Amino acid sequence: MTQARIRYGPDGEYRLVGFELPNRVAPGEHAEAVLYWRLEADQPPQTSYKVFLHVSSTLDDAERIASVDEIPLNWALPTSCWMPGVLLRDAHPFDVDANARTGTWLALLGLYNEQTGERAKVFEAQRAIAGAVENASKSARRSTLPIALRLISDCRKRWKCGAAAGIF
């Protein structure tokens, strides 16, 4: 697990404490992102958020080759049911578009209110591009977090289990 220190939500109560993400994927390949969350609040929240993970060529999410949009823990545990302090392992499988071009792609990660569609605010964000960390403002209000992936066309060069791009 690569450690992270990113907080989401109105008051930053949803903490992404770590993740596992392939640093190389191939067109048409099945891959998985694993997120580790902890609720840092006194009680379970009222609002339920969905997790989104978009693999895109740019921060504006214009060209997307993979997408995940679901309730955490395989649709089994909405954020409104999370208990404070409990570490949650949240796996999100995804398929890379078979026609995707090779190059470096960003994994854009965030939470959004499933009732209104509004994205949760991001606090204390960092971002990683090809394993190098760049600090954003501690009061950042971005709605997505970029993580670099490198898309390869040669299937013999698939990513190894446990290889991950870094955020922390």
* Distance, C-alpha 35 to centroid of its chain: 7
Q: Are 63 and 57 in contact (CB under 8 A)?
A: yes
pLDDT of 14 reads 93
pTM (2 d.p.): 0.75
**What are the distances in angstroms from CA 64 to CA 57, 59, 72, 101?**
7, 11, 21, 11
Q: Is 66 exposed, middle or buried, given 0-12, 13-18 or 19+ CB atoms closer than 10 A? A: buried
pLDDT of 37 reads 95
End-to-end CA distance of the chain: 11
Quote the DSSP letter at residue 136.
P
Segment 95-105 shows an average pLDDT of 86
pLDDT confidence bin for 153, thresholds 50/70/90:
very low
Question: What is the tens place of the pLDDT at every residue in 109-131?
Answer: 889 998 999 988 887 655 543 33
Q: Looking at 32-116, list the stretches that DSSP marks H as alpha helix, in order from N- to C-terminal side.
A: 72-75
CA nearest neighbour of 166 among 129, 120, 139: 129
Handedness of CA 61, 68, 13, 36 (dihedral sign): negative
Torsion of CA 2, 38, 149, 1, to 10 degrees: 20
Indicate whether 70 pLDDT > 60: yes
Cβ atoms within 10 Å of 85's Cβ, excluding its own: 9
